[in-house]
Structure 1
C-alpha cells in the first residue's frame, strides 16, 4: 500500500494551546447534522478506537432517550442528516427506530459500520435493510491490504470486511445514486516519532483503493474518507505508553492549517451520547467535554425540546487534540477538509 504523507517532526517550542492558533473564536453555525452515539458495545475492539468500544461494554441508548431523539428528528426541519455511530450502532438499541424516523422525515441517514457486524447472529439482514432504507454506509477499512487492517482491527477482520463489501456491491451500493458507500482510511499508529504521519492525499489514495478492490474483489464504492488519528481513547493511551503523546500533539500543532477551520464538522453539528447529553463533536464526547450555552450550562436533549430550538451554542469547546482536525488537509467524519 502507498505510504502516507510523511512530514518529519520539527523541533519547536512547547505546545501552544489550540485556541491561541485561531484567528477568531471557534463558533457554531446553524445546526444541520445530528450525530448520535448509540453506545459503546461493539463486536470488535479496534486498537485505534477513540470510543474504546468493545464486546464487554454495556452502555447503550435507553428507550426514553431514543424517543426524545425521534421527537427531535421529527420536529426540526433544519436537521438534514442523522449520523449514527457507536460502538457498532447496528447492534445497539434504537438503531432501526432512528433510521426509520429519519427516513420518514426525509432526512439523510449515515451509519458508521465496521462491516463485520453483518456476520454476527441476528444481524445478517443488515445489508438488505440498509439498502431498502437508502442508508449511506461509511465503513472502516484502514488499508486495502489485509495485514494492515488485521493489525489495527483484529485477526480475520479484513476477510470479513471484503465479504461484506462484496455483498453491498451486489446490492448496488457504490453504483446506484441513492446507495452511497464510503470507506474510511486511518494512518497506522506510530511507535516512534519518525513514523508520525499526516493523512495522504485523499483523491489519490481513493483511486488506489478503487483500482485494487475492483480488480481483486469486484468491489465498488463511492468515496474514500481520510481521517487523522486523534489522541483520544485507545489511540491516546497507545501514544502515552510509547511516550509519544506530547510529541504527536506537537507534530499536529506544527502542521496546523488555518484554512481548515471554516470547514470543521463541529461548527454545524450536534453530537449526542446514549444518555442524551450534547457535545460539539464526537471527540469532545469521548473526552467528556460537554457543549455549553452562553451562560456556561451543559445542554441535553431535554433542554432542546423544552426550548424548541437547536441553536443554543455560540462558542465551541476546544482542546489541544483539535490540532488533529486542523493539521495538513484537515480531518473530519466526512474526510479531508481541503
Structure 2
C-alpha cells in the first residue's frame, strides 16, 4: 500500500502561523470524567485520576488577576466540574471581570454531589458549551454511551429551568460533530452551521420543549481516541488526506490558536487544546517551553511568536473551519 504523503501545514499556508495578543485562557483541569466517549480527544474517563494541583491553581488565579488582556477563561477537562480547582477558578475569573466558559457534558448534573451545578452556573453567569453530537438519540448514544442522550436532554431542561437560553446573560451553546467513519466513503465535514442549528432548534423544541442559543459545529480531529479509532480502521492517513484536500485558506486568520493559550493540569503551556493532547508544547522564539510560573516570572502572556503546527491542523482549516467556538467562516 502506498503511504499517503501529507503536506506539512506550514508549507500549505506558505509562512509560519503567528500568534496574536492573548485574550483567551483555555484550562484543562484534568482527565477525570463520568463518561468515556469514543471520540474524546482527551481520553478522559471515570478511571483517570490526573487533575490540577493546588499550586498550579493558585498560579492560574494570579495569572487571571494580573493580565487585563484576558477576556475569556475557558474551563475544560474531562468533566471540568469533577476536577480540583473548578470553583476557585470560576470565582476568581468572575471577580476579575472575565467571561467564563464551562465545557460541560450535561450528564454530570446527575452524579452524586453535582446536582447544584445548574444553579451554580446561573449564579456565576457561566457560558455553558455542551456536547450533543446529534439531535437524534441513537447517534448520540453510539458516540457517548447508552443513555447519554436522555440524560443530556434532562440536563438541558435543568439549565432552561434556571434561565439558560431565555435570560440573555445565560448562554447555552451545543456542539455537533460528525459520526466517526467506518470507511473512506464516510469521511464528512460538518454541514453548514446555521442550517443545522435551525434543524436542531426545531427538533428539540418540538419533541422536548427545550431551547439553546447557538450550535457550534466541530470537525473530528484525528487525535486522542479518534486517532486510535482511525488507526484501527486503517483510516488515519486517508482521513488526514481528506482534511488536507478540503483545506480552506480563508479560515487561517480566524484560528483559535492565534489568540489563546492552552494550559494543562500540570501548568504547561500549549498553543491549543489539540497540541496539548498530542504533547506539542508552545515555544518561545528561543525554543524554550513554557509554564504558568514562567509566564508570571516574565510578566507577559505574549512571549510566543509562532504557533506550533502539525498535520491535524488541517482539521481546523477544512471546509468552514473548526474551533472551540464552532465554524470559522460561512
Cα deviation, 1:274-330, whole Å, max 9, x if unaligned, reads 000000000000001000000001000011101111000001000000000000000
Residue in 1 aligned with 2:14? 23
- Structure 2 match to 1:187: 178
Aligned to 2:34: 43
Q: Aligned residue for 1:53?
A: 44
Q: 1:89 aligns with which of 80, 105, 123?
A: 80
What root-mean-square deviation, in Å, do the aligned CA atoms of Structure 1 and Structure 2 show? Answer: 1.1
1:196 is aligned, of 168, 187, 191, to 187
Q: Which residue of 2 aligns with 1:267?
A: 258
Residue in 2 aligned with 1:283?
274
SS of equivalent to 2:25: strand
Q: Are residues 1:243 and 2:234 paired?
A: yes
Deviations 1:86-128 (A, max 9, x none): 0000111000000000000010000001000000000000000
Give the Å deviation of 1:18: 1.2
CA distance in 2, matches of 1:175, 1:84: 23
Partner of 2:73, secondary structure, is strand
Aligned residue-pair number: 328
Residues 10-48 of structure 1: CA deviation (Å, up to 9, x unaligned): x99732111111032101000000000000010000000
**Which of the residues 97, 100, 106 maps onto 1:106?**
97
* Partner Cα distance (2:204, 2:162) in 1: 16
- Per-residue deviation at 1:245? 0.2
CA distance in 2, matches of 1:198, 1:119: 32
Q: After TM superposition, list the pairs within 5 Å mapping 1:220-235 onto structure 2.
A: 220-235=211-226
SS of match in other structure, 1:302: helix
Whether the aligned pair in 1 keeps the contact of 2:129 and 2:175 (CA below 8 Å) is yes
Look up the SS of the partner of 1:182 in the other structure. Answer: strand
Quote the Cα distance in structure 2 between the aligned partners of 1:80 and 1:13: 41
> Following superposition, which runs of at least 4 residues in structure 1 exceed 6 angstroms of deviation?
none
Who is 1:296 aligned against? 287
Q: Distance in 1 between matches of 2:272 and 2:6?
A: 23
3-state SS of the aligned residue for 2:163?
A: coil
Separation in structure 1 between the aligned mates of residue 201 and residue 166 of structure 2, nearest angstrom: 13
CA–CA distance in 2 between the matches of 1:284 and 1:307?
23
Name the structure 2 match of 1:320. Answer: 311
Q: Is the 8 A contact 2:4 2:238 kept in 1?
A: no
Q: CA deviation at 1:273?
A: 0.2
Q: Which residue of 1 aligns with 2:245?
A: 254
Write out aligned runs for 1:116-265 (5 A): 116-265=107-256
Q: What TM-score does the superposition give when structure 2 sets the normalisation length?
A: 0.98
CA contact (8 A) 2:29 2:80 kept: yes
Give how far 1:172 is off. Answer: 1.3
Partner SS for 2:130: strand
* Structure 1 CA distance for aligned equivalents of residues 59 and 205 of structure 2: 42
Whether contact under 8 Å (2:4, 2:237) holds in the other structure is: no
